Structure 1
């Protein structure tokens, strides 16, 4: 078998595995959100806020691709559930900043603790240099996903 065919088979396997992992990730996050009484978009939006920090509703809308009305309803749900609070922008009192709250993080952290532990156990099966290669690959895949997400918007 030629190197080209082997490479094509390897690339096809990579695509299939990424699709499978993406599907399982979405299903996991959907189940996690439901167990917290949230919608999957709510949970991921809270995650975006925790990752990026406080932002306006408009900025959150741009990051999520949600309409203004949908973002307002999402923020209402997250605020009611204790994951965020609205705060006046100190630089422009007409604007409101959405601030993530630490209280909701404990529930999410507990929900993801088994997954975190399993991931740590998996990482311990690899050498440090292997992990650096894996992490580099995953970062590049994440960058590709961000680029592709922008194209869809």
Structure 2
């Protein structure tokens, strides 16, 4: 087999494996959200708030791709479930920001405990330099996904 064919086969295998991982990740998050009495979008939006910090409803709409009406309902559900709250923007009292709360974090952390433990055990099977390469690859793949997400959203 030529080097070019071997590289193409590896690339195809990586793409297939990443699709498989992405599908299992979506299904896992869907089941996790359901077990908390949330919609998957609610759980991922709470995760976005925890990652990015307080956002306006408009910013949350932009990040999630949801309409303003859907974001309002989403924020209502997150408030009711104890994952976020509305606060006046300290920089502009006319605006409201959505602030993540820590109340629901322990429930979410417990749901992901087994997955975290298993992932940590998996990392123990690799050398530090191999882990560095894996981290680099996953980081760059996430950056590509972000670029592709923005490209797709620009076409909507």
Give, in whole Å, the separation in 1 of the partners of 2:142 and 2:67. 24
SS of aligned partner of 2:94: coil
Equivalent residue, structure 2, for 1:114 = 114
SS of aligned partner of 2:99: strand
Aligned-CA RMSD value? 0.6
Task: List runs of 5+ in structure 2 lacking aligned partners.
Answer: none
Give, in whole Å, the separation in 1 of the partners of 2:148 and 2:75. 26
Task: Report the Cα offset of residue 93 of structure 1.
Answer: 1.0
Equivalent residue, structure 2, for 1:127 = 127
Equivalent residue, structure 1, for 2:53 = 53
Equivalent residue, structure 1, for 2:96 = 96
Answer yes or no: is 1:37 the counterpart of 2:45.
no
Q: How high is the TM-score relative to the length of structure 1?
A: 0.99
Q: Can you list the C-alpha shifts for 1:94-115, whole angstroms capped at 9, x where unaligned?
A: 1001000001111100000000
Q: Can you list the C-alpha shifts for 1:3-31, whole angstroms capped at 9, x where unaligned?
A: 11111111110111011111000000000
Give, in whole Å, the separation in 2 of the partners of 1:41 and 1:75. 11
Answer yes or no: is 1:64 the counterpart of 2:64.
yes
Equivalent residue, structure 2, for 1:79 = 79
Equivalent residue, structure 2, for 1:2 = 2
Task: Report the Cα offset of residue 91 of structure 1.
Answer: 1.4
Task: Report the Cα offset of residue 152 of structure 1.
Answer: 1.0
Give, in whole Å, the separation in 2 of the partners of 1:109 and 1:57. 25
Give, in whole Å, the separation in 2 of the partners of 1:10 and 1:129. 20
Residues matched between the structures, number: 153
Runs of 4+ in 1 over 6 A off after TM superposition: none
Q: Can you list the C-alpha shifts for 1:113-152, whole angstroms capped at 9, x where unaligned?
A: 0000001000111111111110000000000000000011
Q: How high is the TM-score relative to the length of structure 2?
A: 0.97
Give, in whole Å, the separation in 1 of the partners of 2:3 and 2:127. 28
